[in-house]
Amino acid sequence: MNRRRVVVTGIGMISPLGTSAPECWSALMAGRSAVAAVPPEWCRYAETASTIWAPLPPIDWPALGIGRIEQMQLDTSGMLTIAASSEAIRDAGIGTASADAKKNTFRLEGPPPDRCGVFMGTGVGGITPFVGNLANHVMSPLIGDVSDPSILPPMPPRFNPYAVPSMMPNAVSALLGIRWSLYGPNLTFAQACAAGTVAVGHAFRAIAAGSVDMALCGGAEYLRDPYGGIFRGFDIARTLAAEGSDPQRANRPFDRDRTGFLFAEGGAAVLVCEEAEAARRRGARAYAEIVGYAETFDGYSIMSMEPSGTRINDMVAAAVQDAGCVPGDIDYVNAHGTGTAVNDEIESSVIERLFGATPLVTATKSLTGHCIGASGGIEAAVTALSLAHQATHACHNLEHPIRDLRFVREAGPCRIETAVTQSFAFGGHNAAVVMKRIS
C-alpha cells in the first residue's frame, strides 16, 4: 500500500525561552538561554550538587485561554499542552467554533473529528499536583499536633478534588481531545526523555497509514514541585549540570567541559500534522514534511545508555531508510545532546559512524535546558522551523567539541533538505523522526 504523505502545518510551543513558538525561535536564533538559580526554598530540604535550572517565563494563563477555574483543576503540564495546542491550531489556519461554553471546548473546522487523533508524550504527567496533594494529606493532621504549625513546610491549602485527573499522565492527551472535540485515537507515550519524539513518530505513522487524517502531537512536561524533590531525583543520579564559575556557560552539550544537563521547569510543544493532500486542498502552509520514523530499545539498563550505541545506530539508520534516504542525504541532525558525559560521547560516536562530518549538528537543549518528556516535541518543532526558515540555531556554549563533527557554532542561514531529530531515554528507548524541506 502506498504510504500517504504527512506535513507539519502548525506549531505551538512554550519553553523556558518563551511562551510562543516565534518567541522560542527568536531566542534560539539569538542564542538567549534561560539559566537561573534554583528556587531558594528548595535548599531547606537538601543540598544538591546542581544549583541551577531553566525556569519558564511568567505565563499569563487567562491570555492563553485558561481561566482561573481550569487553573485549579489542571496540572501545569496540562495547561501548557492546551496553550501550545491553541497556538498550533491557530498557526495552522484551522478555524474553531465553540462546542460547549461551560466546558470551554471547541470544534475544529476541518476534517471529521473521528479522523483526528492526539499523540502526546510526557515523562511523568501530573507529578507536581500529586506531590502537593500528598503533602496536604500527610501534614494536615499534624497542624493541630505541633506547637508551631509554621515549622511545617508550605503545602497547598486543600486536598484537590481533581487530584486524580490532574495526576494521570494521559491527561495531556485527553485534555486536547476534550478541548478540541477530537474523537480519533488518543494516545499518551511515556518514554521519558524520548516521549515527545515517539509521539510525533506515531502520529506520522497513523496519518501515513490512513488511520487518521490529522493529528495533534508533541510532548509536555512540568517538574517544579514545592520542595525540589523532582529536581533532587535527577541531581542525586548525578545527571545535572554543575554551576561552575559561570552558570550561563554550565550547559554545554558536546563540549569537553560538560558536566550534565540543565534541568528545565517544563514546557510543551504541539505540532499539527496533516495528510499532505488534504493540507494542500485547504491551502495550508507547511513547515516540513515528515518522511520517516524508527525506534529501538537498548535492553541494557534502566538509567544508562548501552555503551556501544548499537541500538541507537540501528534506530537512526532505520529512520533514514524509512524515509527512503541514505545517510549521505542527511544534512541536519537535531541531536538529543543533553550535555551528560556518557550521552554525548555515545551520541556523537553514532553520528560520526553513520553520517561522518557532513550534517550540521546542533543541540536545542543547549538553550532550552532539558524539558524531559516535552523535549522531543520541542526539538521536532525546532527541526521543522529550521527546515522552513532554512536556518539553524547554534550548539550553545560549545567551545571544545568532543568529536570532529560539523557542530553549529553560530546561528544563521543554512541549506537543509533532510533533517533528523533524535531522542534517547532513561529505560533505553531510542527514537528518531526524519523530516524534509517542502519543495
Residues that bind another protein (CB under 8 A): 67-69, 72-73, 101-102, 157-158, 160-161
CB of 170 to another protein, least distance (A): 18
* 3 state SS of 283: coil
Nearer to another protein, 68 or 281 (CB): 68
Mark whether 429 is an active-site residue.
Answer: no
Nearer to another protein, 43 or 72 (CB): 72
Instruction: Specify the DSSP element, H or E, that contains 122.
Output: none
Mark whether 371 is an active-site residue.
Answer: no
Nearer to another protein, 160 or 386 (CB): 160
Which of 194, 204, 253 lies closest to 434 in space, CA to CA? 204
**C-alpha separations of 400 from 252, 352, 355, 363, 404 in Å:** 10, 17, 20, 15, 10
Rounded CA-CA distance 314/295 in Å is 9
CB of 55 to another protein, least distance (A): 24
**C-alpha separations of 392 from 84, 133, 250 in Å:** 22, 42, 22
Q: What angle do CA 164, 58, 61 make, to 5 degrees?
A: 50
Phi, psi dihedrals of residue 162, rounded to the nearest 5°: -95, 25
CB of 100 to another protein, least distance (A): 9
CB of 164 to another protein, least distance (A): 12
Contact indicator for 38, 373 with CB cutoff of 8 Å: no
Mark whether 116 is an active-site residue.
Answer: no
Contact indicator for 32, 367 with CB cutoff of 8 Å: yes
CB of 101 to another protein, least distance (A): 6
Nearer to another protein, 103 or 256 (CB): 103
24, 193, 273, 395: the catalytic one is 193
For 276, the grid coordinates are 499532505
24, 217, 370, 396: the catalytic one is 370
Nearer to another protein, 43 or 143 (CB): 143
336, 393, 396, 429: the catalytic one is 336
Active site residues: 193, 336, 370
